[in-house]
Structure 1
Amino acid sequence: MDILYQIRARQDSFSAGEGRIARLVLSDVAFAASASLDDLAARAEVSSATLSRFARTVGCKDLRDLRLQLAQASAVGNRFLTPEQAPEQSAFFTQIVGDIESTLRQHLAGFDESRFQAAVALLTPARMIHSFGMGGASSLCSEELQTRLVRLGYPIAASRDPVMMRLIAATLGPEHSVIVCSLSGRTPELVDAVDLARSYGAKILAITLPGSPLAERADVLLPLQIAETHFIYKPTAARYGMLLTIDVLATELALTAPDANRERLRRIKLALDDYRGGDDGLPLGD
């Protein structure tokens, strides 16, 4: 249950005492979650009976359930409860670019060449590569991997559907590789699909957070470094770290056979020129 939403939705129907409790909770969730029931009642200037009635009004079974729900609400994180003030428009343009640059520098500084070499060794002999990702950036990056690697002649297919990932995982063997993308490394469907693929001997390359469940299941890990800011209104810059990792990996793979890959890229450029025309400097794909 989302206790904060339940309180906000009922603000017009509370009694005077319940209204004071509601305002206290909404203004200081951390205090409401950590305070004793006596302290909470005293701060709101209500009786224990009013506090108990408030708990039932907002959908809790009892006061114990209210405390549990408040604790869960507080655990979401203070930046979502009392976010920092949004900067002026010109300032947040600069902040967005600054966060992206900081993320890219942080990842570049943490890159380990031996990990990319291990990733190349895992992918190169694979009869088929599958890239898995779910959610926003992770699913898009799994498809970005397909775009990058298919140009180099690698047999690769991307999937973001949990049922399809399970179907694919059940067909794999030691001659297959799976690249799994996840900013958190904790998505249950991804973890389950990777467990299934591993049970049949497939090799796992994870682009994810170190120490996460997915990272622990990987044969090779390309670690991400997540450092979210308190400005919650802009999209996460972490996805740029994943894109940089993919670009470095794709370049490493391309350079394993530069002559053959140059010919592949030439043929792709020719096919696109025949299809759409355009300048020589246009990218290979939209």
Structure 2
Amino acid sequence: MRKNMTALFDIVYHIRSNRDRLSATEQKIADIILDDIAFAAAASIDQLATKASVSIATISRFAKAVGCEDIRDLKLKLAQASAVGTRFLADVPVVEESAFYARICSEVESTLRANLARFVEADFRAGANALNSARLIYVGGMGGGSTMLADEVQYRIARLGLPVTAYHDPVLLRMLAATLTEKDVLVLLSVTGVTPELLEVADIAREYGAQIIAMTAPQSPLAEKANVLLPVMTEETDFIFKPSASRYGVLLAVDILATELALLRKQESKELLRRVKFALDEYRGGDNRLPLGD
């Protein structure tokens, strides 16, 4: 069972949104905290009061003014806020457009090369064999990149003539997992490997004997539940304004798995891909080098 969820309280948001309504001395505390949340979370109350040149009583009033029960509650919420990492809190220098264009490309390339170096051919062959012999294949992914990539798995496998469907709704995934058998395969995608709903879906599917193929972080909770693990390594940078490059590592794993599967059933794949190309060309026209899709 998932642990009880507590109500979200974003202390950084509350301090920023209430700042203009605070007294002048309380605003000094707000500015000190917002300027260095990591310091405010780690500092003693005396240190915080000294840095803001205010009394401890003023800090107590400030805590209540921004929605905390007391100073202790303020400190707890500051510690929670600082846990997201300084890259989401500190100011960052302006990056020239040409520089960040190249930076995005460089991080994509680094992600691809780092993951390719860690991939093990036998793992992908095991995944392809499981898919090839499956009665049916369900694919699950939630959130941002994993939702899109779950659909991508469906698109890659469907054109090879195998019964595959991607789902993203956590309740529906639970229901479907309960219908699986030892003849079925569940492919789960999660860059972090800690999404509670996916972990529960994996447990349900395993209970009924289904095989789990996981594209996720090694040593993650989801990785431990997999029959076949296709590990995807991620390394987030301090430049938070661009989309994560981690999804390219998953996409590489998807392409390799789909190619292994196609080669495993080479003659059948060739004929089915020919049919797909013929049907598309008949519909849209174009030359013989257009891709199998759009």
TM-score, length-scaled by structure 1: 0.98
Q: Distance in 1 between matches of 2:223 and 2:205?
A: 15
CA contact (8 A) 1:86 1:231 kept: no
Give, in whole Å, the separation in 1 of the partners of 2:170 and 2:75. Answer: 35
Q: Report the counterpart of residue 209 of structure 1 in structure 2.
A: 217
Report the CA distance between 1:33 and its aligned residue.
0.2
Could you give the per-residue CA deviations for residues 152-171 of structure 1, whole angstroms, max 9, x where no partner exists?
A: 11111100111110111111
Give percent identity, aligned residues only. 54
Question: In the alignment, which residue of structure 2 is the partner of 1:180?
Answer: 188
Q: Which amino acid aligns with 2:229?
A: L
SS at match of 1:255: helix
Residue 83 of structure 1 deviates from its aligned partner by 4.8
* SS of match in other structure, 1:221: strand
Equivalent of 1:17 in 15, 18, 25: 25
Deviation of 1:84 (Å)? 3.0
Q: CA deviation at 1:121?
A: 2.4
Q: Which residue of 2 aligns with 1:136?
A: 144
Which of 260, 269, 275 is 2:283 aligned to?
A: 275
CA RMSD of aligned residues (A): 0.9
Q: CA deviation at 1:279?
A: 1.8
* 1-structure distance, mates of 2:187, 2:197: 14
CA distance in 1, matches of 2:33, 2:140: 41
Q: How many corresponding residue pairs?
A: 286
Gaps of 5+ in 1: none
Dislocated runs of 4+, deviation >6 Å: none
5+ residue gaps, structure 2:
1-8
Other structure's SS at 1:280 match: coil
Q: Is the 8 A contact 2:140 2:150 kept in 1?
A: yes
TM-score (normalised: structure 2): 0.96
Contact 1:172/1:202, CA 8 A, preserved across alignment: yes
Q: 1:209-242, CA deviations, whole angstroms, 9 ceiling, x for partnerless residues? A: 1111111110110001101111100001110000
Segment of structure 1 superposing worse, 156-165 or 274-283: 274-283
- The answer to whether 1:240 aligns with 2:245 is no
* Structure 2 counterpart SS, 1:222: strand
Code of the aligned partner of 2:270: R
> How many Å apart are 1:151 and its aligned residue?
1.1
Taking the aligned partners of 1:85 and 1:102, their CA distance within structure 2 comes to: 23
SS in 1 for 2:242: coil
Task: Evaluate the alpha carbon distance shift between residue 192 and residue 83 of structure 1 in structure 2; reply closer, same or farther with a 3 A threshold.
Answer: farther
